[in-house]
Amino acid sequence: MIVPLIVFFACAALAVTGAILLILAREPIHSALSLILVMVSLAILYLLLGAEFISAIQIIVYAGAVMVLFVFVIMLLNAGVEERTDFSKFAKFAGLPLGFFLLIEVARWMYGASAGSAIVPGADAFTQAASTRALSAELFRKYLFNFEATSILILIAILGALVLARKSQ
């Protein structure tokens, strides 16, 4: 039963490759496509973790709605090749090492934090508990107020986008 491990490493490699391509791409549309690669491989990882509902909304909301919005704006603005500007000396000599230090430190800390939480054998039990039915019970009972608050948030976002997009007279 080594298959999950192979799937995990394949998806992890795809996700990291997509993230690196996002940084290296000169055209915004290429960045957007590599970000979609990252999101789809993360959706497969969620399936592997037994969270089907999260995997589905990752595809529908993220890879679908949000990225379509991004691609739409890129096409609308006809965004071409990114201009390169010189880094300041401070960014070159202090920023890069500090950035890599942060990367290593975060990875090390997370590895240490997870060493204590031993792996639970009952992945099947979790898959059963994390079914969409159980998740919806949690969402609509325990987190009902938060759920309603997000609808207000979305309403405000729609109004904000409308106000910004309105033609100024």
Site residues for other proteins, 125-144, by CB under 8 A, read: 125-126, 129-130, 134-135, 138-139, 142-143
- Min CB(20)–other proteins separation in Å: 7
Rounded CA separation 6/45 (Å): 11
- Min CB(75)–other proteins separation in Å: 11
Reported as half-sphere exposure (CB side, CA atoms, 13 A), residue 44 has a value of 17
Q: Please, which residues have CB within 8 angstroms of residue 62's CB and are 6 or more apart in sequence?
A: 39
Reported as half-sphere exposure (CB side, CA atoms, 13 A), residue 115 has a value of 6
For residue 89, give both structure tokens. Answer: 């000396």
- Min CB(148)–other proteins separation in Å: 12
Identify residues 55-94 at the interface with other proteins (CB under 8 A).
57-58, 61-62, 65-66, 69-70, 73-74, 76-77, 79, 82-85, 91
- Min CB(54)–other proteins separation in Å: 5
Q: Which helix (H) or strand (E) holds 10?
A: helix 3-24
Identify residues 30-59 at the interface with other proteins (CB under 8 A).
31-32, 35, 38-39, 42, 45-46, 48-51, 53-54, 57-58
For residue 118, give both structure tokens. Answer: 């031993």
Q: Using the rule CB under 8 A, is 110 a contact of other proteins?
A: yes
